[in-house]
Amino acid sequence: MPLSNTQMRDVQSILHPYTNLMKHRETGPVIFERGKGVFVYDDHGKDYIEGMSGLWCTSLGWGDPVLADVAAGQMKKLAYGHLFAGRSHEPGIALAEKLKEVSPFHTGKVFFANSGSEANDTQIKLFWYANNARGNTKKKKIVSRNKAYHGVTIASASLTGLPGNHRSWDLPLDFVKFTDCPNYYRDAEAGESEEQFSQRMAKNLEALIEREGADTIAAMIAEPLQGAGGVILPPKGYFAAISKVLRKHDIALISDEVITGFGRTGKWFGCETYGFQPDTMTVAKALSSAYLPIAAVMISPELCDIIEAESGKIGTLGHGFTYSGHPVASAVALKTIELYQERDIVGHVNKVSPRFHKRFMKLAEHPMVGDVSVVGLIGAIELVSDKKAKGTFDPAKAVAPAISKYIEAEGLITRPLMGDRIALCPPLIISESEIDEMFDRFERGLARGLDWAKRENLVAV
């Protein structure tokens, strides 16, 4: 089918992220015109359940009039204001106070950025700055994990443990050191329990620290669950085991809550779900329900004191962004958190998640589904060529993207991920009936995908 005029305009004008740009010239984009609740609508009027909340972010769904009114009101009052050179504004102050209020750890102060990538880049810089202030000038390395996702700036893409973020970019930079992805389904040894697997992961982390030298490592960064790497949930005892190792070697733990923050896992933050205490935290995405770009780094009082003292010594904290704590984004983010509280969004997640979990686990019966991972309102399946052997597909066949397209044709947006995994992360406002409709569409698309896989001789069924 030839591209429409709008699609042609797109192809001729936009360089799309995370896209095969040569293929995009032929297929063109899907054009979305509007959204309401958990649904979005394309330019032909077709409805889709937005099963990924956009990019893991639109927690309150589309078209919330309260957030729209707050944005318009703040634009009329103070459309822009910055935080440089001691200037400030009420929305930024109030948002920082609110983040300290809901924080799961003792937070001293908040630094604002515009995206999770910028915030994780800031995490690196703050630890470097603080360690220089302490005289620990060698303590600069950051430990990340294979299949982690922490952003796309040069520094944060280095933290990301996905090959597609490194190939042809001359990344990662050498201050980042990678330890295991704790994928129990794929990497557990025969007869190994989750707790034993977690202990082995911690031993491997300690071996890495000893090889590199603990006095050269500033921090480890970890998502409570690995989102873009496949929605890989930590096995039992994992964070307790690695936290013990990090404390032993005086290495800080950064919790990247860009996906898991604000109720996604059934608690306010993922570190609460998985029972660990971070030293700093990154939040973004659901911070404003993605209505405006904003992110934050939440910092312990001890780290704040060191950073402030160093700025007094050298004359400045030479870091910041033009839009750090933008007043309109701050006002919307503040109202978003207030709505989470007023509407008891975390309570709603816990009310509807049993239905979400039940429908997800039913997918395990499908002949192409190997692993199922689910917590709160986020989950994924792993597609396999042979269930008993956990057979993998040739990456060149792009099985998960192909089946995701069949699911999309049924009116559901999912996310194909590395390792032929397909994720769901719907708006937190989703109802039980909408969950059922979402999985009905998912199952129809998966059935069409199985027919395709059989035709291509990709599965042993």
Looking at the fold, whether 383 and 441 belong to one and the same domain comes out as: yes
CA distance to 115, 118, 120, per residue, from 149 (Å): 13, 13, 10
Q: Quick check: is 361 in a domain? A: yes
Amino acid at 153: T
**pLDDT tens over the chain, length 461 residues:** 889 999 999 999 999 999 999 999 999 999 999 999 999 999 999 999 999 999 999 999 999 999 999 999 999 999 999 999 999 999 999 999 999 999 999 999 999 999 999 999 999 999 999 999 999 999 999 999 999 999 999 999 999 999 999 999 999 999 999 999 999 999 999 999 999 999 999 999 999 999 999 999 999 999 999 999 999 999 999 999 999 999 999 999 999 999 999 999 999 999 999 999 999 999 999 999 999 999 999 999 999 999 999 999 999 999 999 999 999 999 999 999 999 999 999 999 999 999 999 999 999 999 999 999 999 999 999 999 999 999 999 999 999 999 999 999 999 999 999 999 999 999 999 999 999 999 999 999 999 999 999 999 999 76
Question: Which value, to the nearest 10 degrees, does the dihedral of the CA atoms of residues 307, 308, 312, 315 take?
Answer: 60
Tokens of 10: 């797109």
What contacts 15, CB < 8 A, 6 or more positions away?
A: 21
CATH of residue 364: 3.90.1150.10
Are 340 and 262 in contact, with CB atoms under 8 Å apart? yes
Looking at the fold, whether 137 and 127 belong to one and the same domain comes out as: yes
User: Which helix (H) or strand (E) is 451 found in, with range?
Assistant: helix 432-455
Domain containing residue 78: 67-342
Q: Quick check: is 338 in a domain? A: yes
Looking at the fold, whether 124 and 56 belong to one and the same domain comes out as: no
User: Which helix (H) or strand (E) is 239 found in, with range?
Assistant: helix 238-248
Q: What is the DSSP string of 160-174?
A: ---GGGTTTTT-S-T
Looking at the fold, whether 164 and 179 belong to one and the same domain comes out as: yes
Looking at the fold, whether 381 and 333 belong to one and the same domain comes out as: no
Q: Quick check: is 291 in a domain? A: yes
Tokens of 44: 């032909």
Domain end (from 308, 324, 342): 342
Q: Quick check: is 9 in a domain? A: no
Amino acid at 260: T
CA distance 10 to 28: 8
Tokens of 378: 């986020």
Domain count, the chain: 2
Looking at the fold, whether 361 and 240 belong to one and the same domain comes out as: no
Q: Quick check: is 376 in a domain? A: yes
CATH of residue 299: 3.40.640.10
Looking at the fold, whether 327 and 188 belong to one and the same domain comes out as: yes
Q: Quick check: is 283 in a domain? A: yes
Looking at the fold, whether 312 and 392 belong to one and the same domain comes out as: no
Looking at the fold, whether 232 and 299 belong to one and the same domain comes out as: yes
Looking at the fold, whether 78 and 203 belong to one and the same domain comes out as: yes
User: Which helix (H) or strand (E) is 304 found in, with range?
Assistant: helix 301-314
Residue from 453, 408, 456 nearest 50 by CA: 408
Q: What are the E-state strand segments in 97-193?
A: 109-113, 141-145, 176-179
Q: Quick check: is 379 in a domain? A: yes
Domain end (from 279, 312, 342): 342
CA distance 408 to 414: 7
Looking at the fold, whether 154 and 164 belong to one and the same domain comes out as: yes
The H-assigned helical ranges of 363-391 are none
Q: Quick check: is 445 in a domain? A: yes
Looking at the fold, whether 58 and 74 belong to one and the same domain comes out as: no
The pLDDT, as a whole number, for residue 1 is 80
The pLDDT, as a whole number, for residue 183 is 98
Domain end (from 312, 342, 372): 342
Q: What 3-state class would DSSP assign to 65?
A: helix
The pLDDT, as a whole number, for residue 461 is 66
Structure pTM?
A: 0.96
Tokens of 46: 């077709």
Residue from 423, 444, 450, 443 nearest 368 by CA: 450
